[in-house]
Amino acid sequence: MRMQQNYAQQGHSAAQYNLGLIYYNGNSNISRNLEKAVELFEKSALQGNSDAQYRIGIMYEEGEFLLESQEKAFEWYKKSSDQGHAHAQYSIGVLYEQGIPNSPTFAGIQSNYSIAFEYYEKSSMQNVPEAFYNLGLMYELGKGTTASLEKALECFEKAAQQSDADAQCKLGLFCKDGNRIVKKDLTRAFEWFQKSALQGNDRAQCELANFYLKGVGGIEKSEKVALEWYRKAANQGNFDAKTYLRSLTKSVRSVSTVFSFRKKKNDDDSDTRSTISSMSNGVVTDI
């Protein structure tokens, strides 16, 4: 720490950036200090440090300590990207794909899929998984390039191999539905959905719940497990998961009503009882 401070005071850009990271994250010895972090990032960035330039871009885009500004985020990302920073190239690609509105001090940027594609391609050449995923979408939809399902699949696979949850979910959908180049394979689809769902992808969580509800893809049917995955997806705002939960609630309440009027001998259906218990304990109250 002391050595980093000495080098930073002497104007070394790498030391300034690294010391900025220490203040940005904080540790057992140093309290988190975003003001000091930004000061050091800016000193480093002004000397051309691409990591510091990218970091400032993120803080402007997310409005973290700095006043949110896509315009300034773009400017810093561009400086970093021009030096070959892979994640800055990806971020520039996103901004070109989305476009930036006009402002009194900024002419704005019109959405341009072709330029976005170019930046995603540059970023993917440095193995950024998010860039591969976005390239895959552009190939799949023919945005900024000629549509190619083969190239889309290749990009999705490269992203998924680096544990990109969105790409894993996309491959799961390909395997679930099948298409011109991917054979329908529910077992493989389940594997991809599971990998993605465990990383928090709400679409994959909902798809995984569907598999458990129907008992397909080589897994045993379980309304209890399905319910758990629907809840996780619904808690992230997934509309389909909320709809399925409402449907399950009505179904379970009907079963519960029957149980309340009629004793059932030799009832081994612990899975149903557990589901009813979960529902009665307020599973759907926050939907």
**Intervals of CATH 1.25.40.10 along the chain:** 70-162, 166-251
> Exposed e or buried b for every residue in 228-239, given b needs 16+ CB within 10 A?
bbbbbbbeeebe
Better-predicted residue by pLDDT, 254 or 281: 254
CA atoms of 36 and 55, how far apart (whole Å): 14
Q: Out of 18-27, 155-164, 197-206, 255-264, which region has the weakest mean confidence (pLDDT)?
A: 255-264
Q: Does domain 70-162 have CATH number 1.25.40.10?
A: yes
pLDDT, tens digit (0-9, with 9 covering 90-100), for 83-137: 999 999 999 999 999 999 887 777 889 999 999 999 999 999 999 999 999 999 9
Cα–Cα nearest to 283, from 254, 253, 245, 251: 245
* Torsion angles phi and psi, residue 103, rounded to 5: -145, 170
pLDDT score at 284: 39
pLDDT, tens digit (0-9, with 9 covering 90-100), for 62-78: 999 999 999 999 999 99
If you average pLDDT over every residue of the chain, what do you get?
90
- In CATH terms, the fold of domain 166-251 is 1.25.40
Give the global pTM.
0.86
> Exposed e or buried b for every residue in 101-135, given b needs 16+ CB within 10 A?
eeeeeeeebeeebebbbbbbbbbbeeebbbbbbbb
